[in-house]
Amino acid sequence: MLARGGGAFVNMASTAGVSGGMGITAYVTGKHGIIGLTKSAALDYAACRVRINVAAPGPILTGWIAALDDSARQPIVRAVPMQRIGLPEQVAQTAAWLCSEDASFITGAAILVDGGWMAGAAGY
């Protein structure tokens, strides 16, 4: 990217990277680290026209959430202000946008893809 005169990275974290979580200390620590790395690297490479951002998904229909039956999934749905679980394509679209020229003045950002999950975390 440096030789080409610029480009864009999108790292993947989680909403756990901007909050805490009981019983998932190692996971939360790793996700906070990704966000910190992203912010610092964005500063280091901004003048080189390399943009570095991070997508931080919340409840997305992958892995363990997809494996849950509907009744087990409902408490998660109710906890999301948009009242639904996100789709993997929505995270991919966010990453693609961050790599596009439409996001050419964005670097060092952590973009939450979470249906309002973190906006309402303090009392939704």
Q: For residue range 41-100, list pLDDT tens digits in order.
A: 999 999 999 999 999 999 999 999 999 999 999 999 999 999 999 999 999 999 999 999
CATH number of the domain enclosing 99: 3.40.50.720
What is the model's pTM?
Answer: 0.91
| 121 pLDDT above the threshold of 70 | no
* Tokens coding 81: 């202000």
For the chain, the domain total comes to 1
N-to-C CA span, the chain: 42
Q: Which pLDDT tens digit goes with each residue over 19-55? A: 988 999 999 999 999 999 999 999 999 999 999 999 9
Of 48, 112, 108, nearest to 80 by C-alpha is: 112
Could you tell me if residue 33 is inside a domain?
yes
Contact predicate 95/10, CB 8 Å: yes
Residue positions annotated with a catalytic role: 27
Task: Give residue 19's domain range.
Answer: 7-113
Tell whether 60 is covered by a domain: yes
Q: CA 52 to CA 74: how far, in whole Å?
A: 35
